[in-house]
Amino acid sequence: MTITEKQTPFIIGVSLNLIYIVAELGFGFSTNSMALIADASHNFSDVLGLLVAWIAVWLSQKAPTAKRTYGYKSASILAALFNAVFLLIAIGGIATEAIQRLQQPATPHGWTVIIVALLGVVINGLTTILFVHGQKEDLNVKGAFMHMAADTGVSLGVVVTGIVMLVTDWTWLDPVVSLVIAVVILIGTWGLLRDAINLALNGVPNNVDIKAISNCIASQPSVSKVHDLHIWAIGTTDNALSVHLVRNTATNNDCFLNDLDQQLRTSYNIQHITIQVEYGDCQQMENVENSI
């Protein structure tokens, strides 16, 4: 596997979290803390989420083949969908455990648990920062970002409630804070799930304005009609477009298509473009494909 700039955050994130899991398990067994052991298992599930997103990035960089002409770019969509569902399952686990602790309050966290959780805030926080920029442009990276942000929130909740519980003995605070964190994660995850499903169903990506694109094509000189305009994602960073348009002249067709192609690529975040030109008399037709 070739190490690229896009894969570097995943390498660092997975490495940091694996080290943290080993440390957490060590402290868990040495102090006989089931809370730490259980949290280590939860953190391992987040590492799995990072690995899924990382594999998708690697696959998306593989060259197209005769059977997969777009390559494996859509693997990033599947990874984003997987991580969204994975997060929902994690939220269910957090909520279930919190409700059980409301019915049977746990003993206050010891300082060892609080210190290890604080270390988790640092590790997960650093990993989250690695994906801050990329998550704005790539839904797959956003899935990884959401996983680590959720873990950071959970660890921070353990630290804050643990300290307060040691001072006040408010055992109800721990499950209440866990439920609040679960709701916050759910709000963010719902958007991720909605966008991932939209891309999986070949919907128009959220970062593409189909109305503006239609108006752009229709406003081109010599274009009298635009129809069968389709825009979809072939990956979480690559969008495709196909369109039929009617021209009232065949003059300078190559220049016309080249100019339109450049406008769509540079102004509307479209990477793969197929244009079918039909002439006004509907008897002469030219198919022009311009795709990568």
Each domain of the chain, given as residue ranges in start order, spans: 8-200, 210-290
CA angle 42, 24, 49 (to 5 degrees): 30
For 8-200, give the CATH class.
mainly alpha
Give every strand in the sheet of 239-247, ordered side by side.
223-233, 239-247, 272-279, 285-290
pTM, full prediction: 0.81
pLDDT at residue 52 in the model: 92
Q: pLDDT tens digits, the chain, 292 residues: what are they?
A: 445 778 889 999 999 989 988 888 887 777 666 566 667 777 787 888 899 999 998 998 888 888 888 889 999 999 999 989 988 888 888 788 888 878 877 666 678 778 888 888 999 899 999 998 888 889 999 998 988 888 888 888 888 888 888 888 787 877 888 788 888 888 888 989 999 999 999 999 988 999 999 999 999 988 989 999 999 999 998 999 999 999 988 888 889 999 999 999 999 989 999 999 988 655 444 444 443 3
pLDDT at residue 289 in the model: 40
pLDDT at residue 147 in the model: 85
Classify domain 210-290 at the CATH superfamily level.
Cation efflux protein, cytoplasmic domain (3.30.70.1350)
Contact 9, 131 (CB under 8 A): yes
pLDDT at residue 245 in the model: 93
Q: How far apart are CA 47 and CA 15, in angstroms?
A: 9
Q: How far apart are CA 141 and CA 84, in angstroms?
A: 12
